[in-house]
Amino acid sequence: MAKTFSVGIYAPEKVIYEGQAYSLIVPGKLGYLGILADHAPMVVQLGNGKITLRTASGDTKIIDSAQGGFMEVAENQAALLL
């Protein structure tokens, strides 16, 4: 079974997602990035595009990131501020 990590996706007016995930694909300013458990720490400016999240329950969620934002990955946690 694949290892999971914690993901939080936040917009100014609401929490979009909080929970465990197997994988996360985000639109970085210079192209799409794939995040899995145990990813190296980093901070990335997000571009416009779709965020694809494969949850621990096996569901796939697609979130539109039309306004950009930032993502921080550290210690098996990913936080996205849209």
Q: What pLDDT was estimated at residue 1? A: 64
Task: Provide long-range contacts, Cβ within 8 A and 24+ apart, for 7-14.
Answer: 7/53, 7/77, 7/78, 7/79, 7/80, 8/77, 8/78, 8/79, 8/80, 9/51, 9/53, 9/63, 9/80, 9/82, 10/79, 10/80, 10/81, 10/82, 11/82
Alpha-carbon gap, residue 28 to 71, rounded angstroms: 9
pLDDT confidence band for 62 (50 / 70 / 90): very high
- In the chain, where are the structural domains located? 7-81
* Residue the block writes with tokens 């079974």: 1
What CATH number is given for 7-81 in this structure? 2.60.15.10
The pTM for the full model equals 0.93
